[in-house]
Amino acid sequence: MKFIISDRIFAEYPKTVIGIVIAKNTENHGEEREVEQLLRHEEGRIRNDFSLENLAQNPLIQNWRNAYRLFGSDDRCSSEALIRVVLKGNQIRHINKLVDVYNYISLKYRTPVGGEDLDGIEGNIYLKFADSSEKFVILGGKEEEYPRKDEVVYADDKEVICRRWNWRESDNTKLTEETKNAFLVIDALPPVTEEVVKTAVGEFAELVSKFCKAETLAFILNSKNTQIEF
């Protein structure tokens, strides 16, 4: 299986860095108290470092908003959505261990993080611009929909698995307690640097190994390294 990033992504977003963790033979049942504590700690840091009134002006948020506007969307990236939950006085709720860990990584490094169940993937995985013919079933939904042409998406050979770069996951490849093999992604635009992504990927892989007993592989992709095989 390959993960391939379209050359056009780097043409339009030249400083994109993508971190990948492949997790195999995971044990994703239950809840980890230590991960919950990590989340509570990062929620405190978020409240100290951000405010709802000034969130849009923060470079970590502003660059993603600009990226979304380039493909015609006013939606918010996943990390902004997560930060907004915290700034509204809420805690990040438990989903499953893989999701809890990726939410922690997203809050700590202030960049979008997500994941897909590899056993639901058909063929290869792509980060590309949609042609509008690819079907998509939104997380929690059942009806098929279609991305707009030139919307940035993650897709496999069958369908879109995440719309608007990292806005909404597919219900068909969502991570559940039954997930055994996972494709975990860190999306980064400036001012998040490649060095920061490398650190984040290392911690991500370490925590998934520790809490999910998984075998992990870690990769960094950029304009000079646009695909991997795993």
Domain ranges of the chain: 2-229
214/184 Cα distance (integer angstroms): 12
Res. 142 pLDDT band, cuts 50 70 90:
confident
> 64 to each of 3, 126, 128, 182, 191, how far by Cα in Å?
22, 20, 16, 25, 10
User: Is the distance from CB of 39 to CB of 92 less than 8 angstroms?
Assistant: yes
How far separated are the first and last CA of the chain, in Å rounded?
6
| Mean pLDDT, all residues of the chain | 97
Element (DSSP H or E) covering residue 56: none
Instruction: Output the pLDDT for position 148.
Output: 94
Under the banding of pLDDT at 50, 70 and 90, the label for residue 48 is very high
Cα gap 186→167, rounded to integer Å = 13
**Rounded-to-integer distance, Cα 71 and Cα 178, Å:** 34
Q: Is the pTM of this model over 0.95?
A: yes
* In the chain, % of residues over pLDDT 70: 100
CA separation for the pair 225, 213 (Å, rounded):
29
Among 3.50.40.10, 1.10.150.120, 3.50.50.60, 3.30.1490.20, what is the CATH number of 2-229? Answer: 3.50.40.10
Strand locations in the chain (E): 2-5, 17-24, 113-117, 125-129, 136-137, 144-145, 152-155, 160-163, 168-169, 182-188, 215-221, 227-229
Phi/psi at 91 (5° precision) = -95, 150
Mean pLDDT of 47-51: 97
- Measured at the alpha carbon of residue 73, what is the angle toward residues 104 and 221, in degrees to the nearest 5? 50
